[in-house]
Structure 1
Amino acid sequence: MADGPDADVRLTEYAELHGCSCKVGQGDLDDLLGEAGLTEPSDDLLFGVGEDAAARRLTDDLALVSTVDFFTPIVDDPYDFGRVAACNAASDAFATGATENLDFLVVLGLPQELTDVAPALLAGVADAVEGMGGVVAGGHTIVSPWPFAGGAVSATASPDVLLTSQGATPGDELYLTKPLGTQSAMGALRVTDGEFADLVADAAGRPVERIGEEALAWMTTPNRAAAEAARDLAGAATDVTGFGLVGQSAVLAANSGVGVEVTRLPVIEGTEDLSELFGYGLADGESAETSGGLLLSVPAARAADLESRFDAAGVFYRRIGRVTDGSGVTLRGPELEPVSR
């Protein structure tokens, strides 16, 4: 947290929706794309609309992946907001397996009265991008009633290793590389009013500040190492963000023409009861996640190799289900596993 002049600023008070929960709903987005005539694939792209990012073949052995992502504050500290925003935006490129030559163009909007926090916010972005092996190459800043931050991201990879949400097949194992619960954790931190704050603290079962610290640590953990470990083993991938685990699983199921069965939900310890209090739907896989993990569909014969690579790289992972014949997403249970760092 900031100790300087930005310490008293509460960025989340300047927006009514926070983090990836500010995204347009999945159904509304599908309708919008359909009405705009943007649902058909382009012959000029390897993939595009409907995926986490777009990819264009530059040469036989090089593809350029590009994406843009930004959202409203999910944390109050400007520096931390910058870090989360950068990790979240880059995750869309990493979900395709593109991790090299990472360039980041900052997208930033702030109310006039908050322009003093811009240096700290940009420093957070820059530090996070540098930590992912990338470079901040420029950007665009506007005055906006709601603050928001993120970026336009480009990265490269061989076309042969690129991943989409279209390659899952029945029998695949499903892996998730971060626990869920960021919406509940950060929602609890925003509650400061006496009686309800006590109710939140009781529901959490552990210090709310500690839950928030763990959520921040997960949100600022890049998905680059997970992507590098998985990209020649996984058949399909996406990252878990505003649509929640079930929403992103539904996209993968629809795009691959398969069913998805979820049997396990790793969650940040304490967030399951907070979600029940707030009504976020974490136990049903419906809560919005910000800078969440990768959801990977992996052929069963390659699962052991993937786990070995994750272990070697220090990547968190859980097998959370499997791909089936049929369609849609089915929850079997699922078992909730509390995770603490």
Structure 2
Amino acid sequence: MVDEIKLTQFSRFAGCGAKLGPGLLDKALCGLTQPKYPNLISDFSHAEDCGVYRLTDTIALVQTIDFFPPVCDDPWTFGRIAAANALSDIYAMGATPVSAVSVVCFPEEILDISYLRKIMEGAMDALVESGTALVGGHSVRDSEVKFGLSVNGTIHPDRVLQNNTWHDGDVLILTKPVGVGLVNTAARAAIASDEEERLALESMMRLNKHAAEVLSQFPVSACTDVTGFGLLGHACEMASDNPVGAVIEVDKVPLFPKVAEYADMGLIPAGAYTNIEFRSRFVDGYAQLEDAMRYVLFDPQTSGGLLAAVPRESASAILAALYKKGIEAAVIGYTDKTRKGLSVR
């Protein structure tokens, strides 16, 4: 029977996204060059969320791709989460998604095709909500289920949000809690409660569309989304090649219930260890954190929130607008020109 098989049993990496660590990616891309294209606004040379290519004076094409193994056992929910995660990169750049193609790896000898149908239905639900047309896809046989989307968006070339352009005097706003990787790990160990798992799944299924719409109405210095490299990993990318440093105030970071407790219990996704190995040395004050928070702040997120740097004087109005949309955002830090890189306290 279809409902007797768990999707996550087909993935050794279920719940952590199976994403390569930042160190491996750095090695793979180091020294890789391509010709200078005059219309290319953003490429792989900096850890941006998307590539951006100018088509006309008023339109730029924004492109991204993301796919991964199941993070839950319900195929519809997994499809919805995978689509929300892929769309998130477009929203982080300030763009509007317009089209998508699916990427599917599927063990057809093991799983009934109805699983793939449900995955696609969940993805389509998110695409319809975002106004994004599904125009095609590609599928291959594989021993593990993997699913995601390549998404195209559009934006005015002058309105592209980059991730490392914050200014002195900004504050950092986060639009979703942190800790879904830990909750997913605890759920697979049958330790997390149904309510805790539900909260994490609902967060992962929620599009960053409304948060992006709010931010588009205000000045934003820099923006990214928090995904596989964890909160501190993506904040490190924002601090990279920037003369202005920033501070993350740990006690202000919104967390899912019990994630610190799960970290203390050792229910830690493999990706968190990889993130810590390659990025923790760039975070001043990291060694002084409580043991649990060292893992929580590098917990790999799937379909996490937006992390935006905005002028301090705009923060109250932005938070009010986000709350009105039902988004429980929080100010979690600030920029400081007297510092270099990223710090925690």
TM-score using structure 1 length: 0.87
User: How far apart, CA to CA, are the structure 2 residues paired with 1:250 and 1:279?
Assistant: 24
Between the two proteins, the alignment pairs up a number of residues equal to: 313
Does residue 46 in structure 1 map to residue 44 in structure 2?
Answer: no
Q: 1:138 to 1:63 in 2, by over 3 A?
A: same
- 1:199-210 matches, cutoff 5 A: 200=191, 208-210=193-195
Q: Which residue does the alignment assign to 1:295?
A: 307
Superposed CA deviations along residues 149-207 of structure 1, whole A, max 9, x for unmatched, are 11100111222322011211122100100001101111111114xxxxxxx3xxx5xxx
Q: Please tell me whether residue 86 in structure 1 is matched to residue 98 in structure 2.
A: no
Percent identity, aligned pairs only, is: 33
Please state how far the C-alpha of 1:261 moved relative to its aligned partner: 0.9
Q: What's 2:169 paired with?
A: 171
For the residue of structure 1 that corresponds to 2:328, the secondary structure is coil
Q: Aligned partners of 1:222, 1:76: CA distance in 2, in Å?
A: 20
Residue equivalent to 1:234 = 220
Deviations 1:96-132 (A, max 9, x none): 01125x2111111112312521111111111111112
Residue 197 of structure 1 is matched in structure 2 by none
* Pick aligned residue for 2:199 from 197, 214, 235: 214
- 2:242 matched residue in structure 1: 256
Structure 1 residue 57: Cα displacement: 1.6
CA distance in 2, matches of 1:23, 1:329: 23
Farther-moved stretch of structure 1 (257-266 vs 274-283): 274-283
Could you tell me which of 274, 284, 297 is aligned with 2:262? Answer: 274
One-letter amino acid matched to 2:102: V
Tell me which moved more, 151-160 or 210-219.
151-160
Q: 1:13 aligns with which of 6, 9, 12?
A: 9
Uncovered stretches (5+) of structure 1, i.e. residues with no partner: 193-199, 333-341
Aligned: 1:67 with 2:67: no
**2:265 corresponds to which letter in structure 1?**
L
Change (3 A) 1:21 1:124: closer
Alpha-carbon distance between aligned partners in 1 of 2:257 and 2:13, rounded to the nearest angstrom: 24
Alignment-derived partner of residue 315 in structure 1: 327
| C-alpha contact (below 8 Å) 1:223/1:293 kept by paired residues | yes
Residue 244 of structure 1, aligned match among 223, 230, 247: 230
Once residues 35 and 11 of structure 1 are traced to their aligned partners in structure 2, the CA distance between those partners, rounded to angstroms, is 39
1:73 touches 1:147 (CA, 8 Å); kept in 2?
yes
Report the more deviating stretch, 313-322 or 14-23: 14-23
> In the alignment, is residue 306 of structure 1 matched against residue 318 of structure 2?
yes
**CA RMSD for the aligned pairs?**
1.9
Distance 1:230 1:276 in 2: 35
Shift of 1:35: 4.3
Instruction: Please give the alpha-carbon distance, in whole angstroms, between the structure 2 residues aligned to 1:60 and 1:20.
Output: 40
* Residue correspondence of structure 1 range 44-193 to structure 2 within 5 A: 44-49=39-44, 50-100=47-97, 102-112=98-108, 113-116=110-113, 117-192=115-190
Q: Aligned partners of 1:265, 1:172: CA distance in 2, in Å?
A: 17
Contact 1:179 1:267 survives alignment (8 Å) = yes
**How far apart, in 2, do the equivalents of 1:180 and 1:58 lie?**
36
TM normalised by structure 2 equals 0.86
SS at match of 1:124: helix
SS at match of 1:266: coil
- For residues 185 and 11 of structure 2, the distance between their equivalents in structure 1, rounded to whole angstroms, comes to 13
Shift in Å at residue 89 of structure 1? 0.3
Shift of 1:305: 2.7
Runs (5+) with no aligned partner, structure 2: 273-291
Is residue 253 of structure 2 the alignment partner of residue 265 of structure 1?
A: yes
Q: Is the 8 A contact 2:17 2:71 kept in 1?
A: no
Q: Which amino acid in structure 2 is aligned with residue 65 of structure 1?
A: V
SS in 1 for 2:55: strand
The 3 A distance-change label for structure 1 pair 173 and 44 is same
C-alpha contact (below 8 Å) 1:97/1:227 kept by paired residues: yes
